[in-house]
Amino acid sequence: MSEHGEDVWLTAAECAGRMGLTVRALRLYERLGLLAPRRTQKNWRLYGPADIARLGEIVALKRLGLSLSRIAALLSGRDADLGGLLAMQHQMLLDLRERTERGLRHVETMRAKIAAGALLSTDELLQLAKETDMTDAAQDAAAWRRYEQMRPRVEARINPALLSDYAGHYELPDGSGLVVAHRGERLFVQVTGQPEVEAFTEAEDKLFLRVVPAQLTFTRDAKGAVTGLVLHQNGFEQAAPRVDEAVTQRAEETLAERVRNRSPFPDSENLLRRAIADYQRGEPDYGHMTSPLADVARAQTEAIRDELARLGALRAIAFRGVNPQGWDVYEVTFENGKQEWAFTLAADGRFSGLYARPTL
């Protein structure tokens, strides 16, 4: 091992050994342009902190099923994003811990049932197999998409004539409208209940936002007309077909009326009571959540359950109104404290947003 200044540099054998790789793999990554190790006067390769960080990205992305050519294209031309890598690894470990603990609880339940002399049904055995399966492709796919969406974007100029193609009205799966406006050579995006933000071109039919890590990809029909878009955000992809202006206008008017009249969703309080009770048991109804929300909820279930256990029994729920984004907001009183809970629903009645935080 060689040292230069404050950085520690590893030989190829040392680097491969510490990373659980082979020297041959390091050579392959170098040929693909994924690594560029330092060379000594004798032409020996030395690997420093930047190389180790890049190897961490490569290993993590390979575990998500990406080919080396796809990884090379993704990482080309930019430094290792250590923050993004750590965020992805953190989320993957949280997902794995949650799945492991859920599987252990299920196994313990089944063992107790067998010990009591009962037989396991076919459905229970199938559920057992599902709960103890540690290869969750959906979670891994979401982790990869989240990582890809978080990477830095570079603005690229495209044919200005294309910008007018994107302008129009789109409907997201939760019923919200998304409006793309074209002014001069600039594009702006606004979702129902949210402020308008500027969008930037990454490539033809691809936009990205700078205020949040989100991207838009436009879809076209056989004749080349834009028929919709896909919103890439939070590890998920939401298709939004192109609609008439009346659709997004109606969404805005409905939201404004709910906010003005303080009108909660139908059966709003009961929905919240059931959600809180489920979290108190540590068994949220993920099936009553949209996929993006369920993914986030799985990682937070244990922490929310522990906090609710600290707060004690539910005492009262008071409706406080509808916020500008269309969420029903409640003050929830427990035996040992208060929280603000809020939620919003998708068009099919499932939770598409849900949070709890201490009252101010």
Please state which CATH number belongs to domain 2-75.
1.10.1660.10
Kindly give the residue spans of alpha helices, DSSP state H, lying in the chain.
12-19, 23-31, 49-63, 68-75, 82-115, 122-131, 137-150, 163-166, 245-261, 268-281, 291-311
From CA 271, how far away is CA 293, in angstroms rounded? 16
Instruction: Using the CB atoms, write b or e for 320-345: b if 16+ within 10 Å.
Output: eebeeebbbbbebbbeeeebebbbbb
Please choose, from the candidates 267, 254, 240, 228, the residue with its C-alpha nearest in 3D space to the C-alpha of residue 351. 267
Please determine, for residue 62, whether its predicted confidence score (pLDDT) is greater than 80. Answer: no
Quote the pLDDT of residue 1.
Answer: 36
> Average per-residue pLDDT in the chain?
84
Comparing 2-75 with 160-258, is the CATH topology the same? Answer: no
Confidence band of 238 (pLDDT split at 50, 70, 90): confident
pLDDT in tens, 148-164: 777 778 899 999 999 99
pLDDT in tens, 326-359: 999 999 999 999 999 999 998 888 998 999 998 8
Confidence band of 246 (pLDDT split at 50, 70, 90): very high
Of the listed ranges 8-17, 151-160, 276-285, the one predicted with least confidence:
8-17
Of the listed ranges 7-21, 136-150, 203-217, the one predicted with least confidence:
136-150
Confidence band of 6 (pLDDT split at 50, 70, 90): very low
Quote the pLDDT of residue 105.
Answer: 79
Please determine, for residue 147, whether its predicted confidence score (pLDDT) is greater than 80. Answer: no
Of the listed ranges 27-36, 58-67, 166-175, 259-268, the one predicted with least confidence:
58-67
Confidence band of 64 (pLDDT split at 50, 70, 90): low
Domain boundaries, the chain: 2-75, 82-150, 160-258, 262-358
Confidence band of 134 (pLDDT split at 50, 70, 90): very low
More confident residue, 85 or 186: 186
Please state which CATH number belongs to domain 262-358.
3.10.450
Please choose, from the candidates 321, 323, 322, 320, the residue with its C-alpha nearest in 3D space to the C-alpha of residue 331. 320
Please choose, from the candidates 327, 192, 193, the residue with its C-alpha nearest in 3D space to the C-alpha of residue 268. 327
More confident residue, 271 or 287: 271
- Given the candidates 2.40.128.50, 3.30.460.80, 3.40.50.1970, 3.30.420.40, the CATH classification of the domain at 160-258 is 2.40.128.50
